[in-house]
Structure 1
Amino acid sequence: MSMRLSRKKILALCMSGALVLASIPGMYVKSVAAKKNNSPVIRLNTTSIKLVKGKKKTLKVTVKNVKKLKKVTFTSKNKKVASVTAKGVIKAVKAGSTKIEVKVSYIPKSSNKVTKKTVRCTVKVTNPEDTTDVAPDLTVQATAAPVPTVYGDAGKVSGYNSEQSNYLLNINASDKVHDISDILYGIFIEDINFAADGGLYAEMVQNRSFEFTNLASDNEKHAWSDVGTVTAKVVKDDKTGCLNANNPNYIVIENKSDSDAGIANEGFLDGMSIKENTGYDFSVYAKGMDGYTGPLNVKLMNGSDVVGSGTIENVTTEWKKYELKLTSSVTSNKNVKLQVTIPKGKIAVDMVSLFPQDTYKGRKNGLRKDLAEKLEELHPGFLRFPGGCVVEGATIETRYNWKDSIGADSSGQPFEFNGTYGDVAARKQGQNIWTDERATNDKYPSFMTYGLGFYEYFQLAEDIDAVGVPVINCGKCCMGQSDGNGPSLDSAEFKQYIQDALDLVEFCRGDKTTKWGKIRIAMGHEKPFKLKYIGIGNEQWGDDFFKHYEAFVDAFNDAKKTNPALYGDIELMFTAGVDDGDSGKDVYMEAYNEAATWLKAHPDKTINDFAGAIDHHYYNEPSWFLTHTDYYDEKNYSRTTDNMTTSTYGGGMNVFLGEYAAQSNTWKAALSEAAYMTGLERNGDIVKMAAYAPLFGNLTALHWSPDLIWFNNNTVTSSVNYYVQKIFAKNAGTTLLKSDMSGATVASKPFAGKVGVGTWNTAAKFDNAKVVSNDNGKILGKDTFTKAENFSKYWEKATDGNWSVKNGKLVQSSDVTNTVAYGNQGSVAYFGNNTWKNYTYTVEATKTSGQEGFMIPFAVGDKNENYFWNIGGWNNTVSCLQKVSGGSKSGQIAGTIMSCQISEGEKYKIKIVVKDRNVKCYLDDMLYVDYTIPETEGSESYQVVSTDKTGDVIIKLVNVTGADKTFAIDVTGLGEISDEADVDVVAGQSETDDNILGKEEAVTLKSDKVTGIKDKFNYTVPKYSVTVLRIKHK
C-alpha cells in the first residue's frame, strides 16, 4: 500500500465515531465517548509540526473519559522561534526548533480531585523557500578524449610483445572445454514485412486467386485493374462453380466490345520487375462461359508498351490449367503489369500466376533467387519457420495452419485436387497477423497464399543444408497482439491441435504407407525431411499456456512409447514469453518454475521429456548486449535442474534463442551483437540455436525494423548485422577451447548530465523544478515557471509535445506522442548542464489526461544518451528505470521495477538523488528505485576460441572501440603451427555505418591470409571490427 493510502486510512480511523462531551469556549478541545472503564486520555492531534516562517497552525487537544475538564494552557519553550496563543494557535517567528507544552487540568471519573497532565509537541520553523529562479550554467565544458595507444598496424602480425599490446590472450588448444552445438547459428523466416508473399516467394502476381477481403483496397479485386471496355467482377464463395472448395472466388471477364479487354495485375508493393531476354512462366485456370472457346491473350506491359506476349488458344468450357512462357524484351522495375485479355466474349479465370523461370535451384513454385542465395551464404545450421506471431494469429481462426499450407480440407484431412496433393491452387488463403485489421482500404494488405508453405520451407532448409525447425500453434492466439484465446483443453478442437503436431512428424518422416508421409511423397519428396525440434507456441506464458503445452508433452511422450521409430527423438520446445530475464523477469522465470514443478510431479522423467529447449526472445539496446555477454555463463544460467529456479536467468534446459536483435541496423548495434555472440558460442553446450530476427525488410511497407536483409522488387542489400551473422556462421566452432583475456574491461561511469520532464501519450503540468548539489548544497538550477521566457532560455525541447508556460506551470498539453519518431524518448524537455553530477533533482508533476504517467529524464547527455524514470509506464501499471544509449531505448532495468499507477489531477512530488553510480527515486517521499550501475560496463574487446573438424584454432575477436587494438596471443597445446593463417574481417569506419538498400555496401566481409604466425605473436585488429583468425597445425 502506498503512503498516500495509509495516511487516508489513518485519518478516517481517527475521525470515526467522535462525540463532543465537554469543551472550553474558543479552544479546540474534543472529548470522545470512550468504552467503559477506560482511563483518562489526553492526546494532541500531532506531536510534530513543520511551519514556514510567518505561518500559523492550531494545535488541537482531545480529552477522553474525564468527569470534568477544568483548564488547558499552552506554553512555548522558545517564543523567539514560535509563539502560541491561549487558544493553541501557533505562529512561526524564525527558523529553529522549540517545544509547545500543553497542560491540562481535569477531574477524572474515579475521584473529585483535580488532576494535571502535560503533553508536548515539537515545532520546527523553516524560512520561506526562495522563489527566485536560478539559471543553470549552460557552458559546455569540452573535455579532451584520451588518445588511445596504438601498438601495431591493423591486420598485421608482429613479434610477440606483451608490453606492446592492449590485451593478453592466452589459448590452450589441448584444453577442450566442451562441445558446441553444430547448428548454433541459423535463420528465422517469418512472413513479416512481406518476407514471403511479395518477397522470398517468387510469385509476381498479387491476389492471384481473388481471395483478398474488404481489409484491402478494392477488396477482392485488390491489385487488379480493368483493361479496355470490360465488365470484370469477382464471384465470391461460389460452392458449385468455383475451382475448388479451398479457392471459392474467381473473376468473370465479359467483353462486349470489338477490341481486346480484360484485367491487369500490378504485382506486390513497388510493383513487378522484369529483365531483358529473361523468361517468365505464366499459368492460369480458365473456363469459357456462354459458349466462349476463343483465345486468352497474355501480355507483359511496361507502361503502354507490350514487352512480352503469348496466346492460349481454344479455352474449354470446364476449368483447366493453361501455361505458357513469356520473354521480356526490356529491363524495367517500374510501371510493369501483367495483362490477361480476350476478344469479345465471356470467360472465368482463377489462379493467375507469373514466376521467373530462374528461381532458386530452378524449382517450380520456387523462391526468388537473389533473396534465397543471401540465406545460403549465411551458412545456417537451422531454419526456423513460419513464425513468430503469424503462428498464433490475431484470432485463433487466423492462425497459421500448417495443413492449410500444403492443402487440407475443412476437417484437416489431405485435400486432393486434379488427382494429386499439395497443388498451390488447393491451398486455402490465410490472413496474416501483420495486416491491419482496423483497415478497410489498406493499400498494402498482408495475406498468406501459402504458396510458400511447410513443404517449401522444409525443401528450402534442405537446399541450404540446414535443419528445419517448425513452430506450430499451441491452441491459443497471440497474447501480445490479442487476447490469447483458444479452445478449451477438454474440447475436440484442442485435441485436433495435438493431432496436427503428431501428423507433422508423420508428414516429415512417414513412408508411403502413412497418411501424411504419402502426401509429402506425392508432392515430390520421397526421402524424409530432417526434423528434430518442434516449437509449441510462440511468446506465450501463464498457467493456461502451461496446461496447453503440457498436453502436447503428454501426447508426444505417449507417441514415443507406441511408435519410437517415428517419434522417439523428437524434442518439443517450450517458450519463456516475450522478453529477457531482466526486464521480463516475472514472466520469464514463471516458465522455469513451471518446468521445475513438472519435473517434481514426474520423478521418472528428465527435463528433455518436458522440453528439448526453451525459446528465448529479446530485442534490446546495444549496451544491454555488451554488458550481458555472460548471460548464459554457468554462474547466471545453471547447467542443472537443481538450480533452474534460483539462478539469475534460469537454467537446466537447453536454450533456443529464437529471436534477438540490438534494435538498429547501425554498425554499433551489429558490433554489440557480435560481442554477445562470443558469449553464445562460449556457452554453446547449453545454447543450441540462435537466430537474428526479423530476417527480411521491405521499405515500401514495413511492419518491423531493424531487419537482417533489405529488398525491393529488383534489389537486395545485406545489413551490417548480416555480415556479423555470416562471419560467425562461416567460422562456427564445434568444440570450445580454453582461453583467457586480460586488459579489456571498461569501468562504469557515474551518473552525470541534465535533468528533464516528459510524458508518453499523456498530458501533464510541472512545477518547481530544482537541482541541488549533494556536495555543497548549492542550487545548480531552478525554475518555478513564473517567467515564461525561461523555458526558451534554459530548457531544450528535445522531441515533440505541446509545451507552454501557463499560470506558473510548465504545461505539456498533448496526450499523443509521436512514438515512431520519438519512441526512445517520449515527449520530453531537458534542463541544465550535461556535466552535473552528485545532485538531487526535485519537481512537482500533475497528470491532466492520457494513458500513462510521467517520464523524468536524468543523467542526460542528449536525447540519445540518458536515463529516465518511467512513472506509470506500460499503460499506467509500472515504475522502472530505462536507459537510452546510442539512440536505443532499453526495457525495464532489472531491480528497478515496481507496480505504480498515476491518478489524474493529483500533484506528485518527485525526487531523484544521484550519487556516483547510485540513483534513488522517490514519489511523495516513498522510495521506488535504488539502483547502482555495475562496476564494469562491458569491455573494449571480446573473444572466443574454438576448433572444428579441420583442427584449426578459430579465434574470434570483436573490437568495439574507435581505435586499432593489438592482442598479444599465446597459443599452447597445438604442436607445430603453420606460418600462414586465414583471416576474415568485417569492419566499419564509424558506429553509424549502415548498408543502404540499392547503394554500395559500406560494411562487408573480406577474406585474406597473413603470415608470421607462431605459437606466440601479436596481432592488431582494426577499429570497430569483427576478426576471425584460423590458426592451422602444420
Structure 2
Amino acid sequence: MSTITVKTAEKRFPTAKNLYGIFFEDINRAGDGGLYPEMLRNRSFEDSIPPVECETEQEDYAIITPAGWRDEFNHGEGLSRWIRENKTEYTPIPAWYSENAEMKLDREDTLNEKRCAALAISFLPQGCIYNTGFTGIPQKAGEKYHFYMFAKAEEPVKVDLLIEKDNEIWCGTEINLCGKGYQRYDYEFTAGKTAGNAKFVIRCQKGGKLKLGFTSLMPVDTYNSHGLRKDLVEKLKNMHPTFLRFPGGCIVEGFTPSTAMRFHNTIGPVWERPSHLLMWHYRTTNGLGYHEYLQLCEDLDMEPLYVFNCGMTCQARNSVLMEGEDLEEMIQDTLDAIEYAVGPAGSRWGKVRALMGHPQPFKMNYVEIGNENWGPDYEERYLKCYSIIKERYPFIKFVANSHVEEKELPVDIVDEHFYNSVEYFAENIHFYDNYDRKGPEIFVGELAVLRGPVGQLYAAMGEAMFLIGMERNQDVVTLASYAPLLDNYHYYAWYPNLIIFDNLQSYCIPTYYAWKLLGGSRGNHVVASKDTTGVLYRPVSGMPSLLGPAGVRYRKAAWDGKTVRAVHEVMGHEAASEEEFIISEPDEEQKAESAKMGVKLDEVLVVLGDNETAVKGTFEIEIFAEEGREIGIGVYSSRIPKEVYMNDETHPPREWNAGIVRPFQWRIKDGRSTFMDYQNSVPLAAEVPVKLIMGTYNKFRYTVTGREMSLYVNDELIQKAEVPQFPAMASVVCDTEDEVIVKIVNIAPEPDDITINLDCEVQSNYLAGILTGEKHDENTIEHPEKVQDIELRLLGASSHFIYHAPAYSVNVLQLKKKKITKG
C-alpha cells in the first residue's frame, strides 16, 4: 500500500507549456501511402533508380554508397522482408505491371527537369498496365477519389481508367489522350464497394503508345481539406500535442549528399518536387513536404520544430562532410525555409508561400541544427549555422544534438534520445533530478522501449515511469516526443511505432494512450509531493563470462560445482594449453561486427556455460594475475532481447554478438575492484581495494540469488550489491486555481490501494483517466482496441482518501478544489 503526500501550497515551478509533442519521420512508409494518402506507389516511376552517387550489387539487391554504407534495395522494392511477406511479384518498374503491353523507363523525355524518368508504354490491343499501390488500392463505398496524370500521346489514344478487384470493374471512365507535349488529365472516381486491395488499371482497347510523366490517386476527403489522411490526423489531435518535430530523424541527414533533406525539394507542385531515396529503404515523392508540415501544425495548434541538415550525412552510416559551397548551400536552404514560414507575403519565399494558398506567415520559434550529430565536425557546423541564423532571426530558440555548451558554444535546448528496456526507463525515473538548472533546457526528442515487450502494455508502463520523472523536472525538460510515430502495417522497418495503419484502418499501441492521458492534463504548476512505495527488481539471468584484455589465462571454471567452458565466443576465441585456457583477441569479423554495434574493439567477451535462464548459483574460477593486467568477470551474461531494426539488413549479426550481451561487469585492476552496471553507467557497489598474488593463479567466486550478488577473491568477500531496482509506483502532481491533477503509474503486477494526502479540500466526485490491462496486452490489426484508456467518474475524494490503482496502470486523477467562502 503506497502513499502520496501533496503540498499544493508549495509551487515548485510552472509546467512547461510545450512538454508533450510529436515527432514525424518518414519511416515505415509513413508518408506516401500513409499520412499523405497517395494510393499509387511509385507514382513518379523512379523507385528503381538508385541515388546518383551509389552503386548496386548482387543484381540490385543492395546499394552501396561511396563511403561504403550498404542497404537493401531490391530494384527499388526495399526490404526483402517486405517482398516476402507482401508476396510482391517482380516487375521491372516497382508497383506497375503490364498485360499485353510493354513498359520501359524513359530517362530523357521527362515531364520536367525535376523528374528522373517517365513511363513509356506500348499497348497491344486489349493491353493494360496496372498499379498495385501499397499492398492494394483502398476504396470505401460512396467516397470520392481524385486521379490525375500528366500524359503524352503523339497520336490520339483512347484509354480506360479503372478500379478493379478480381477482374471485376468497380468504377472507371474513358479518356481520349492527344495533343503535343505532356497534358494533364483529371478524373474523379466514386467507389462502389469497400476493399483495401483493389488495383488501378489503365487499359487501351485498340492499342497505341503513351508516355506518363506523373500520376496521382488521392481521396477527396482529407483533414481540413489539406491533403492528409483524416483518421491519422485525428489520432494525432487526440494526443493534445503542442509541437511537431519534422521532417526527421535520420532522413534529414541522408546517407549521401544527394539524399539529404532540402527545403527547396519539398515545396511547390508535387510533380515538380524531386523524389529521393530515404535511408529507410524506399523512395519518397515528397508530397508530404514543408508546407504540409506547417499546415498540419496550424491545424492542430502546434509549434513547428524544424530539423535541418547542417552539412553532414548520417554519422551512423559512414558520414560525408559537406564543405565550402555545398555547406553554404545547405545553410541558405535553411534560411529560405525559415523565410518561407515567417517571412511577409512580399518577401521572396513569402510570395511562394502565398502562392501555395497561405499568405499569412506560419509560426517558427524552434529549429534543430542537425540530427543525432556529435563531435568536432558537428560543433564547427553547429556554430556556423547558429551564428548566421541567430543574426537574422534572433527570436528563434536553437536545439543542439549534443551538449555543445560543454564546448562553450551557445545553445538553448539539447536533444537527448533514449531507446532501451522497460526496466531502464523505470530505474531512471530520477535521471533529470540533478541536472544543472542553469544549463540548457532538455528536449527528449526520441523515446521508446525497443527491446523485450515492445508495443505492449508493460512497455507503456516503463515509458510512463520515465515521463513521470520528466514531469517532476519540467523546469529542465521542456519538450518531449515519442519515436517513431507512424507505421504502415505492411512496410515496417522499425518497431515499435505509436500508430499503425493499413489501407483502411489504424490503431494505436498502448504507449499512445499513456501519452494521451499524461499530455491531456497539464495544470499550471508542478507542486511538491512525496511518494512512499515498494520496489521491484530488474529481471536477471544468465551465466558468467570473461571480459577485458586479450590473453586472459584461466582454469577450473565451474558453475554450481560443474565444469564450464567458453560456449559463446562473442569477442575473442578460447584455446586450451595443458591445464589452462587462454582467450585470444577478437578476429577481424568480430571487430567489424562490434564496430557496427558501437562496442569497444579492444576487449574479449566469452560466455562460460549455456544456461541462459540461470538466476541463482555460484561461479568459481582461477585466473592468472599479472602486474598491470586487468581481470574482468561478467555476472548474468545473457542476451538482452533483439531490436527489430537492423542497421545493416544486408549483413544480419550473429545470435550472440557484442551488442546484445551486457553483463554486470566486475573488474580488478591496479589493486582496485569495481562492480558496474554498464547499461545505466552506474556502480553497483563502492570501489574497494583488493590484493592479488601476482605471477600465479588467484581464486575468484561470485554467488547470485536474483536479488543479491556477492563477490569473493581468494575466499574473501570483497563486494556485495543488490540487483538494480525501481519503485513500484510513481507520481507527479500539478494544479491550477481550481484543480489538483495527480498522475500515477503503478508498474507493479498487483493493484495498489494508494493513500493520497492533500493539504487542501477537494470535492468528493472526480474524474479518473485510466490505462490498464494484462502485462503483455497489445493491440493488433484484428483487435485494434484491446488496450485503450477509459474515463471514470468516481466518488470519495477528500483531503485524505484511498485511490485503487489497478496493476500495470497509468492513472490521471482530476480533483476539483473546494471553494473557500469567507464569512
Q: Which amino acid aligns with 1:977?
A: V
Q: Which amino acid aligns with 1:574?
A: A
Q: Find the counterpart in structure 1 of residue 280 from structure 2.
A: 434
Q: How far apart in 2 are the matches of 1:862 and 1:876?
A: 9
Q: How far apart in 2 are the matches of 1:931 and 1:573?
A: 43
Cα pair distance change 1:833/1:311, threshold 3 Å: closer
Cα pair distance change 1:370/1:828, threshold 3 Å: farther
Cα shift at 1:878? 13
Q: Which amino acid aligns with 1:736?
A: V
Out of 809, 812, 819, the residue aligned to residue 1025 of structure 1 is: 809
Query: Is 1:964 the equivalent of 2:751?
Result: yes
SS of 2:16 mapped into structure 1: coil
**What do residues 882-912 of structure 1 show as CA deviations (whole Å, max 9, x unaligned)?**
69xxxxxx97441579xxxxxxxxxx99966
Q: Which amino acid aligns with 1:474?
A: C
Q: Find the counterpart in structure 2 of residue 551 from structure 1.
A: 384
Q: Find the counterpart in structure 1 of residue 225 from structure 2.
A: 362
Cα shift at 1:877? 12
Out of 185, 189, 193, the residue aligned to residue 326 of structure 1 is: 189
**What do residues 19-68 of structure 1 show as CA deviations (whole Å, max 9, x unaligned)?**
xxxxxxxxxxxxxxxxxxxxxxxxxxxxxxxxxxxxxxxxxxxxxxxxxx
Out of 316, 320, 343, the residue aligned to residue 206 of structure 2 is: 343
Q: How far apart in 2 are the matches of 1:914 and 1:997?
A: 46
Cα shift at 1:460? 1.2
Q: Which amino acid aligns with 2:44?
A: S
Cα pair distance change 1:1017/1:768, threshold 3 Å: same
Cα pair distance change 1:755/1:537, threshold 3 Å: same
Cα shift at 1:823? 14
Cα pair distance change 1:940/1:351, threshold 3 Å: same
Aligned positions of 1:96-115 closer than 5 A: none
Contact 1:716–1:998 (Cα < 8 Å) also in 2: no
Q: Which amino acid aligns with 1:250?
A: A
Cα shift at 1:275? 1.9
Contact 2:639–2:656 (Cα < 8 Å) also in 1: no
Cα shift at 1:659? 0.4
Cα shift at 1:312? 2.3
SS of 1:992 mapped into structure 2: coil
Unpaired runs of at least 5, structure 1: 1-165, 407-421, 436-445, 560-566, 577-588, 599-609, 641-651, 773-779, 786-790, 845-853, 866-871, 884-889, 898-907
Q: Find the counterpart in structure 1 of residue 394 from structure 2.
A: 568
Out of 975, 982, 985, the residue aligned to residue 770 of structure 2 is: 985
Cα shift at 1:839? 4.8
Out of 20, 28, 34, the residue aligned to residue 199 of structure 1 is: 34
Q: Find the counterpart in structure 1 of residue 132 from structure 2.
A: 266
Out of 914, 921, 939, the residue aligned to residue 727 of structure 2 is: 939
Q: Find the counterpart in structure 2 of residue 250 from structure 1.
A: 118
Cα shift at 1:175? 2.2
SS of 1:540 mapped into structure 2: coil
Q: Find the counterpart in structure 1 of residue 17 from structure 2.
A: 182
Unpaired runs of at least 5, structure 2: 51-74, 78-89, 600-604, 625-630, 643-653, 666-676, 685-696, 819-823
Contact 2:36–2:228 (Cα < 8 Å) also in 1: yes
Aligned positions of 1:72-87 closer than 5 A: none
Contact 2:743–2:812 (Cα < 8 Å) also in 1: yes
Q: How far apart in 1 are the matches of 2:206 and 2:508?
A: 46
Q: Which amino acid aligns with 1:730?
A: G
Query: Is 1:169 the equivalent of 2:4?
Result: yes
**What do residues 613-648 of structure 1 show as CA deviations (whole Å, max 9, x unaligned)?**
111112011111111111111xx20102xxxxxxxx
SS of 1:508 mapped into structure 2: helix
Contact 1:360–1:367 (Cα < 8 Å) also in 2: yes
Q: How far apart in 1 are the matches of 2:719 and 2:376?
A: 32
Q: How far apart in 2 are the matches of 1:653 and 1:1029?
A: 32
Contact 1:303–1:336 (Cα < 8 Å) also in 2: no
Q: Which amino acid aligns with 1:246?
A: K
Q: Which amino acid aligns with 2:76?
A: A
Q: Which amino acid aligns with 1:1025?
A: S
Contact 1:962–1:1024 (Cα < 8 Å) also in 2: yes
SS of 1:260 mapped into structure 2: strand
Query: Is 1:654 the equivalent of 2:441?
Result: yes
SS of 2:196 mapped into structure 1: coil
Query: Is 1:508 the equivalent of 2:508?
Result: no
Q: How far apart in 2 are the matches of 1:827 and 1:934?
A: 22
Query: Is 1:517 the equivalent of 2:350?
Result: yes
SS of 2:172 mapped into structure 1: strand
Q: Find the counterpart in structure 1 of residue 150 from structure 2.
A: 285
Aligned positions of 1:138-177 closer than 5 A: 166-177=1-12
Aligned positions of 1:289-438 closer than 5 A: 289=154, 292-339=155-202, 341=204, 343-363=206-226, 366-406=227-267, 422-435=268-281
Q: Which amino acid aligns with 2:742?
A: I
Q: How far apart in 1 are the matches of 2:720 and 2:326?
A: 51
**What do residues 164-187 of structure 1 show as CA deviations (whole Å, max 9, x unaligned)?**
xx1222212232211111110111
Contact 1:186–1:381 (Cα < 8 Å) also in 2: yes
Q: Find the counterpart in structure 2 of residue 95 from structure 1.
A: none
Aligned positions of 1:660-699 closer than 5 A: 660-663=447-450, 664-699=454-489
Cα pair distance change 1:728/1:319, threshold 3 Å: same
Cα shift at 1:334? 3.0
Q: How far apart in 1 are the matches of 2:781 and 2:167?
A: 29
Q: Find the counterpart in structure 2 of residue 716 from structure 1.
A: 506
**What do residues 318-351 of structure 1 show as CA deviations (whole Å, max 9, x unaligned)?**
3221111112222222353443546332222121
Query: Is 1:1001 the equivalent of 2:764?
Result: no
Q: How far apart in 2 are the matches of 1:881 and 1:400?
A: 39
Q: How far apart in 2 are the matches of 1:177 and 1:452?
A: 41
Q: How far apart in 2 are the matches of 1:196 and 1:699?
A: 13
Aligned positions of 1:18-57 closer than 5 A: none
| Number of residues of Structure 1 aligned to a counterpart in Structure 2 | 722
SS of 1:547 mapped into structure 2: helix
Q: Find the counterpart in structure 2 of residue 231 from structure 1.
A: 102
Aligned positions of 1:609-628 closer than 5 A: 610-628=410-428
Q: Which amino acid aligns with 2:745?
A: V
Contact 2:139–2:194 (Cα < 8 Å) also in 1: yes
Contact 1:620–1:891 (Cα < 8 Å) also in 2: no
Contact 1:841–1:913 (Cα < 8 Å) also in 2: no
Q: Find the counterpart in structure 1 of residue 562 from structure 2.
A: 782
Q: Find the counterpart in structure 1 of residue 361 from structure 2.
A: 528
Out of 137, 140, 163, the residue aligned to residue 275 of structure 1 is: 140
Contact 2:345–2:360 (Cα < 8 Å) also in 1: no
Cα shift at 1:308? 1.3
Contact 1:754–1:834 (Cα < 8 Å) also in 2: yes
Structure 1 length normalisation: TM-score?
A: 0.63
Q: Which amino acid aligns with 1:572?
A: F
Q: How far apart in 2 are the matches of 1:653 and 1:530?
A: 22
Cα shift at 1:198? 2.7
SS of 1:230 mapped into structure 2: strand
SS of 1:678 mapped into structure 2: helix
SS of 1:221 mapped into structure 2: coil
Contact 1:298–1:310 (Cα < 8 Å) also in 2: yes
**What do residues 181-218 of structure 1 show as CA deviations (whole Å, max 9, x unaligned)?**
11101111111111112321100011111122154157
- Highest Rg: 1 or 2? 1
SS of 2:768 mapped into structure 1: strand
Cα pair distance change 1:810/1:336, threshold 3 Å: farther
Overall identity of the aligned pairs, in %: 28
Q: How far apart in 1 are the matches of 2:329 and 2:612?
A: 63
Q: Which amino acid aligns with 1:593?
A: E
Cα pair distance change 1:892/1:864, threshold 3 Å: closer
Q: Which amino acid aligns with 2:138?
A: S
Cα pair distance change 1:336/1:523, threshold 3 Å: same
Aligned positions of 1:730-749 closer than 5 A: 730-742=520-532, 744-746=533-535
Contact 1:895–1:931 (Cα < 8 Å) also in 2: no
Q: How far apart in 2 are the matches of 1:877 and 1:186?
A: 31
Contact 2:558–2:564 (Cα < 8 Å) also in 1: no
Query: Is 1:726 the equivalent of 2:516?
Result: yes
SS of 2:240 mapped into structure 1: coil
What RMSD, in angstroms, separates the aligned Cα atoms of the two structures? 4.3
Cα pair distance change 1:254/1:765, threshold 3 Å: farther
Cα pair distance change 1:753/1:370, threshold 3 Å: closer
Q: Find the counterpart in structure 1 of residue 435 from structure 2.
A: 637
Moved more, 708-717 or 537-546: 708-717
